[in-house]
Copies of this chain bind each other. A is one copy, B any other.
Amino acid sequence: MERTLVFDLDGTLVDSVYQHVLAWHGALQRAGIGVSVWRIHRRIGMSGGLFVERLLRETDTEPRPGLADSLRDAHAEIYNELDASVTPLPGARALLQELTDRGVPWAIATSGALRTAGPVLERLGVPEGVPVVTRDQVPYAKPNPDLFLRAMEKLRIDPRHGVVVGDSVWDLLAARQAGMLGVGVLSGGYGEDELNRAGAYRVYEDPEDLRLHLDELCVGRGT
């Protein structure tokens, strides 16, 4: 069975998780909602809608009309100020190039919106023709499987042949729901055990470490 890879973006290919975390923290502080930073970190990567809903519930904040939208706007504004410090993770570009060279199809599927994901996709040098699915394109984000299933549709490959690579438990839960294999990376700042418990088949440090172990994922076999 020849496999294909679907990558999460933030924390998996680009080093942007901590900037997103502090941008959400700033947006919540502006709205007068106090949430500990580590709790935001543990929600990052799930759908923005679910994320906001859950934090409001945890902090006993009454949902106000327009609150979710204004939080998302403030997050995008603060994140864009921090964006200059965001770079591809070590080995990310080389990994994607190696997959392309080996003839292994791959795609990107992110819970992020196009307005924040756009600049980092450019920095990553994603070639023309590679499917990129953003939050804007599906009704439900992770841990729902929609993003990954849409990516497999665009690749025209059966999900059972797909491997999800992600840094968060939401990627791994969404992978399981999509019937795909899940592989974790530590570069989003979660503990190895959290990823294992969420069903990671293997956990690597970052894209460079994954690239050195590609054969464990049965991709590009026989080339």
Enumerate chain B residues within 8 angstroms of A19, measured Cβ to Cβ.
22
B residues in contact with A90, CB < 8 Å: 34, 36
Q: How far is the CB of A95 from chain B (nearest CB, A)?
A: 14
0 or 1 for each of A16-51: is its CB under 8 Å from B? (1 = yes): 011101100110010000101110010000000000
A100 to chain B, nearest CB (A): 23
Q: Does A204 belong to the interface (CB within 8 Å)?
A: no
B189 touches A192 (CB 8 A): no
Complex interface: chain B residues within 8 A of A15 (CB): 36-38
A206 within 8 Å of B (CB atoms): yes
Chain B residues with CB below 8 A from A193, complex form? 191-194
B189 engages A38 (CB within 8 Å): yes
Number of identical monomers bound together in the oligomeric complex: 2
- A interface SS class: helix
For A159-192 the 0/1 string (1 means CB < 8 A from B) is 0000000000000000000000000001111111
Q: Is A223 an interface residue (CB 8 A)?
A: no
For the complex formed, measure the closest distance between the CB of A12 and the CB atoms of chain B, giving whole angstroms. 11
> Whole-angstrom distance between the alpha carbons of A103 and B38 in the complex?
31
Q: Is the CB of A26 within 8 A of B85?
A: yes
Closest residue on chain B to residue A87 by CB atoms: B34
Residue positions of A touching B, CB distance < 8 A = 11, 15, 17-19, 21-22, 25-26, 29, 34, 36-38, 41, 82, 85, 87, 89-90, 186-194, 206
Q: 5 closest A-B pairs (Cβ-Cβ)? A: A191-B191, A193-B193, A38-B189, A18-B37, A191-B194
